Amino acid sequence: MRIIIHRGTQEIGGSCVEVSTDKTKILIDFGIPLVTATKEPFDSKVLTGKSIEDLKKLKILPDVKGIYKGEQKEIDALLVSHSHPDHYGLLNYIHPEIPVYLSQGAKELIEISNIFTPNKIKRLNAKVINTKKSFTIGGLTITPYVVDHSAFDALAFLIEGESKRLFYSGDFRGHGRKSILFKQMLRNPPKDIDCLLMEGTSLGRGEKLCRDENMVQKRIQEILKEGGNITFLFVSSQNIDRIVSAYKACLTTNSIFIIDVYTAYILERLKKISRNIPQFDWRNIRVKFYDNHYKVITNKESLKTIYLYRKSKIDFNEINSSGRKVLMMGRDNLIFPKVLRRINNPKGAKIIYSEGCSKLGFLKNR
């Protein structure tokens, strides 16, 4: 077994690992970079109008033979560990005949991102992994492990071939709502591993205010009790654990939890995987409609689904006159200043910021 780490050793994100034997060659992850070669934040607009060769020269696309459109296919399959763009964001460029193996949750979230975000994966030869079974690709046997991560349905992989065993952790953690998975792996780890490839982006960060998701939930409850009528939560709509924490905090404090259409749609699509994920019509949840979110949808079936959210629609008049504490999700720097202008007396309102969300650029000079 041979391993080539094309990207991911000298930077965070853009992960891409090649694993091969004499008969089989696969890639694990094919992510968009988070930073440029000069360590500046990566701007995906640089992809526009550029050929595969251009992007190779710019070192945006890794130099992998036989993976790209227009080339003779030499890669048998690609494994995607989870639905964060730094692990799947370059899939647009791969040969259309290469199968892409991923979890059901990752597939759903990528398809939802195609609807609501500008960086779309236009065509995906997707093969959904049964996370409870091993499977084979040529001479390699792959065993998936569901792991605790902010990306829903994230996977690690045990890869076996030619009497060697490689374990690829993907992104994982031990403090989320699926922390039991991490503890189980510590108690009963894969045996006789020849090579361990592990993410390490949080090593050395020191103590955190909240050591796990239960403490996050309790802290949100405290903020809701201490604060005024409205609190804003900045969190990625794909961070299901954090949304569950926010919802439970709202139930405990009898606060209204306001989500947007994008978030409601994600929760709706994922309920077929987990019935414990909060839904738009659950108690204390209301949906705020913004033009830039629901007008991008052209798929009739999705539009029909979103029309149902009107049952839980809330407007600014109701937000201002409800008399109840409100926790309102806000993710978009362009929308949020307009929201603030529609809130009666927002002075003293608190903002809860969750890592992985857009930076709060609108707070400068305020």
174 and 309 housed in the same domain? no
Q: What span, in angstroms and rounded, lies between the C-alpha atoms of 166 and 158?
A: 6
Residue 364, pLDDT score: 37
Give residue-wise pLDDT tens across range 33-60: 887 777 778 888 888 889 999 999 888 8
Single out the residue of 50, 53, 5 nearest to residue 27, CA to CA.
5
183 and 225 housed in the same domain? no
Q: The tokens of 237 are what?
A: 């709509």
pLDDT higher than threshold 50 for residue 17: yes
Give residue-wise pLDDT tens across range 343-361: 888 877 899 987 655 544 4
Any domain includes 206: no
Q: What span, in angstroms and rounded, lies between the C-alpha atoms of 221 and 133?
A: 39
The answer to whether residues 195 and 224 touch, using CB atoms and an 8 Å cutoff, is no
The answer to whether residues 64 and 6 touch, using CB atoms and an 8 Å cutoff, is yes
Name 328's bridge partners: 232, 258
CATH number at residue 101: 3.60.15.10
Q: What span, in angstroms and rounded, lies between the C-alpha atoms of 294 and 303?
A: 8
Any domain includes 59: yes
The mean per-residue pLDDT over the stretch 263-284 comes to 94
156 and 271 housed in the same domain? no
247 and 300 housed in the same domain? yes
Any domain includes 288: yes
Q: What span, in angstroms and rounded, lies between the C-alpha atoms of 335 and 261?
A: 14
Of 197, 222, 253, the domain-final residue: 197
Q: How far is CA 33 from CA 20, 40, 79, 205, 250, in A?
A: 23, 11, 17, 22, 36
Any domain includes 205: no
For the chain, helix, strand, coil in percent to 5 are 30, 20, 50
The answer to whether residues 5 and 54 touch, using CB atoms and an 8 Å cutoff, is no
Residue 319 structural domain: 213-363
Q: What span, in angstroms and rounded, lies between the C-alpha atoms of 233 and 330?
A: 6
CATH number at residue 354: 3.40.50
Any domain includes 317: yes
Residue 319, pLDDT score: 92
Any domain includes 19: yes
Query: Helical H runs in the chain?
Result: 52-57, 85-88, 104-116, 179-187, 213-226, 240-253, 261-270, 291-294, 300-308, 316-321, 336-342
The mean per-residue pLDDT over the stretch 320-327 comes to 90
Of 197, 223, 253, the domain-final residue: 197
263 and 313 housed in the same domain? yes
Q: What span, in angstroms and rounded, lies between the C-alpha atoms of 284 and 41?
A: 38
Any domain includes 258: yes
pLDDT higher than threshold 80 for residue 113: yes
Could you tell me the sign of the dihedral formed by the alpha carbons of 49, 79, 102, 157, in that order?
negative
228 and 128 housed in the same domain? no
212 phi and psi, to 5 degrees?
-155, 175
Any domain includes 70: yes
Q: What span, in angstroms and rounded, lies between the C-alpha atoms of 68 and 361?
A: 37
Single out the residue of 237, 243, 247, 235 nearest to residue 360, CA to CA.
235
233 and 126 housed in the same domain? no
Q: The tokens of 217 are what?
A: 């939930």
Domains identified in the chain, total number? 2
194: confidence class by pLDDT, cuts 50, 70, 90: very high
241 and 353 housed in the same domain? yes
Q: What span, in angstroms and rounded, lies between the C-alpha atoms of 316 and 320?
A: 6
Residue 83, pLDDT score: 93
89 and 172 housed in the same domain? yes
pLDDT above 70 covers what percent of the chain?
A: 90
224 and 187 housed in the same domain? no
In terms of pLDDT, which residue wins out, 67 or 358? 67
Average pLDDT, the chain: 87
Give residue-wise pLDDT tens across range 242-271: 999 999 999 999 999 999 998 999 999 999
Of 197, 232, 264, the domain-final residue: 197
257 and 349 housed in the same domain? yes
* Alpha carbons within 13 A on the beta-carbon side of 40: 4
The mean per-residue pLDDT over the stretch 81-103 comes to 94
Any idea how long the chain is?
366
173 and 241 housed in the same domain? no
